[in-house]
Amino acid sequence: EAGVAQSPRYKIIEKRQSVAFWCNPISGHATLYWYQQILGQGPKLLIQFQNNGVVDDSQLPKDRFSAERLKGVDSTLKIQPAKLEDSAVYLCASSAATSGDDDTQYFGPGTRLTVL
Amino acid sequence: GQQLNQSPQSMFIQEGEDVSMNCTSSSIFNTWLWYKQDPGEGPVLLIALYKAGELTSNGRLTAQFGITRKDSFLNISASIPSDVGIYFCAGQQQGGSEKLVFGKGMKLTVNP
């Protein structure tokens, strides 16, 4: 079974530029998550989708971050314009069930963003 | 926001030694999870705990869900070089597909 795919793996941009990340979840997984992991910290949820609807975006800085999952499969996360403090690894995760007790989140390898 | 306090932040041990780490919270969680993250990779689930007081093993790993629902620990026995990495605790208040709240991680170094 293929895992969660993310691209690009690395991205270097200057502040005030725009950047987009792409995620392809595990086939059939209804729920998709974007996490931000700053160096030396644990991942922090930015946004959670169930199919193509947003479940939780309470920690997404909506003035500069946006995300979409138009067909309920792939997702893109965009930052516009980027700030220095956005330097982090952006992790995508997916899980199978829409509810239930055993619902493992599988993580992709992440995109490492450096803002100069 | 919610925070998990994970300790220690790092450990240096000799191959063959045991290591323990724990995680505490000011909030109650109904699910506790332990993940390992290797450099350049995403976190991988090691153990999941769903009931207060539960003690679960996965090979050389043992984890417990605290009775108060506010803490958990992970023990690795007879460490080997491939145990090197960063270990994270994570909690879910409701379980299921709810978001994970992560600790800051513990960096483990194993000297052969």
Q: How far is A42 from chain B (nearest CA, A)?
A: 5
Helix/strand/coil for B33: strand
> Residue written as tokens 């795919």?
A5
How many Å separate Cα A115 from the centre of its chain? 17
Beta-bridge partners for B33: B48, B90
Residues of B with a Cβ under 8 Å from any A Cβ are: 1, 4, 6, 31, 40-45, 48, 50, 88, 90, 95-97, 99-100, 102-105
Summarised one tens digit per residue, pLDDT across range B38-83 is 999 999 999 999 999 999 999 999 999 999 999 999 999 999 999 9
Report how many Cβ contacts below 8 Å link chain A to chain B.
64
Question: What's the mean pLDDT in B91-111?
Answer: 89
Q: What are phi and psi of A114, to 5 degrees?
A: -120, 125
What is the number of helices (H) and of strands (E) in chain B? 0, 11
Q: Does the pLDDT at position A101 exceed 60?
A: no
Instruction: Please provide the average confidence, as pLDDT, over all residues in chain A.
Output: 93
Contact B81, B96 (CB under 8 A): no
The H or E element containing residue B87 is strand B85-92
- A59 — contact with chain B (CB < 8 Å)? yes
Contact B60, B76 (CB under 8 A): yes
pLDDT range class, residue A102, cuts 50, 70, 90 = very low
Which residue of chain B has the CA closest to A107?
B42
Helix/strand/coil for A69: coil
Contact B29, B91 (CB under 8 A): yes
- For residues B108 and B66, give the distance between their C-alpha atoms in angstroms, rounded to a whole number: 23
Nearest to A41 among B40, B50, B104 (CB): B104
Q: Please judge whether B95 and A98 are an interchain contact, meaning their C-beta atoms are less than 8 angstroms apart.
A: no
Q: What are phi and psi of B97, to 5 degrees?
A: -95, 15
DSSP tag of A100:
S
- How is residue B62 written in tokens? 């043992």
- A102 — contact with chain B (CB < 8 Å)? yes
Amino acid at B44: V
DSSP tag of A80:
S
Q: Please judge whether A98 and B97 are an interchain contact, meaning their C-beta atoms are less than 8 angstroms apart.
A: yes
A105, A106, A111, A112: which to substitute to probe chain B, counting the most B Cβ within 10 Å?
A: A105
Which residues in chain B are contacts of A31 at CB distance < 8 A?
A: 97
Q: Please judge whether A42 and B90 are an interchain contact, meaning their C-beta atoms are less than 8 angstroms apart.
A: yes
Q: Please judge whether B42 and A50 are an interchain contact, meaning their C-beta atoms are less than 8 angstroms apart.
A: no
pLDDT for residue A16 = 97
Give which of B3, B19, B1 is closest to B89, Cα–Cα: B3
Summarised one tens digit per residue, pLDDT across range A26-83 is 998 999 999 999 999 999 999 999 988 999 999 999 999 999 998 889 999 999 999 9
Q: Please judge whether A45 and B88 are an interchain contact, meaning their C-beta atoms are less than 8 angstroms apart.
A: no
